[in-house]
């Protein structure tokens, strides 16, 4: 299974009173990782639902497990892949890791649902979208 990985900084204002990365900031790191994944697939710039209706999707759920605290300011790696691709939904997997070890600070999932821009109802992913995320799918490319 292929994954997309980026490096992100943890700054002073990301820390809580104990100088540990605040729990809400993990979700922001994940958001930045997904943004980098979309850019990697060519979804950069302004959204254009007419030429790429797959861009119209909404977050259904986030799940995060906090396993080892990020202490102080530093850089971390954010790894993103596709756990599962359904008819109208996609489940991302993610890990937040230190730069020098494959030990999870946090791991989790996010489910998004493709929505029709006009009806706002769940809609099937296009075949081109399915092809573009295929290499990153864990459900068809296990470790």
What CATH number did the domain enclosing 41 receive? 3.10.129.10
Q: How far is CA 82 from the centre of its chain?
A: 8
- pLDDT score of 23: 96
Instruction: Provide the pLDDT confidence category of residue 143 given band limits of 50, 70 and 90.
Output: low
What H or E segment, with its residue span, contains residue 63?
A: strand 57-66
Token output for 142:
């296990």
Percentage of residues of the chain with pLDDT beyond 90: 84
Instruction: Look at residue 128 and tell me if it is in a domain.
Output: yes
- pLDDT score of 76: 98
Tens digits of residue pLDDT in 83-102: 999 999 999 999 999 999 99
- pLDDT score of 51: 75
Instruction: Look at residue 143 and tell me if it is in a domain.
Output: no
Instruction: Look at residue 142 and tell me if it is in a domain.
Output: no
Tens digits of residue pLDDT in 8-61: 999 999 999 999 999 999 999 999 999 999 999 988 777 776 778 888 999 999
| Cα 83 from Cα 92, distance rounded (Å) | 5
| Cα 34 from Cα 78, distance rounded (Å) | 9
Quickly tell me which residue has 């971390």 as its tokens: 76
Residue 102's CB is within 10 A of a number of other CB atoms, namely 9
How many domains is the chain built from?
A: 1
Range of the domain at 104: 4-136
Tens digits of residue pLDDT in 102-122: 999 999 999 999 999 889 999
């Amino acid at each position: 299974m292929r994954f997309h990985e980026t490096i992100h900084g943890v700054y002073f204002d990301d820390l809580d009173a104990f100088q540990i990365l605040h729990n809400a900031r993990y979700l922001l790191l994940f958001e930045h990782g997904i943004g980098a994944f979309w850019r990697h697939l060519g979804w950069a710039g302004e959204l254009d639902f007419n030429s790429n209706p797959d861009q119209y999707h909404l977050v259904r759920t986030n799940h995060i497990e906090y396993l080892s605290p990020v202490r102080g300011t530093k850089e971390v790696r954010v790894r993103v892949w596709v756990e599962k691709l359904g008819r109208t939904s996609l489940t991302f997997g993610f890990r937040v890791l230190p730069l020098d070890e494959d030990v999870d600070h946090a791991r989790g999932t996010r489910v998004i649902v493709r929505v029709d821009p006009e009806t706002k109802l769940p809609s099937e992913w296009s075949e081109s979208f399915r092809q573009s995320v295929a290499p990153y799918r864990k459900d068809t490319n296990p470790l």
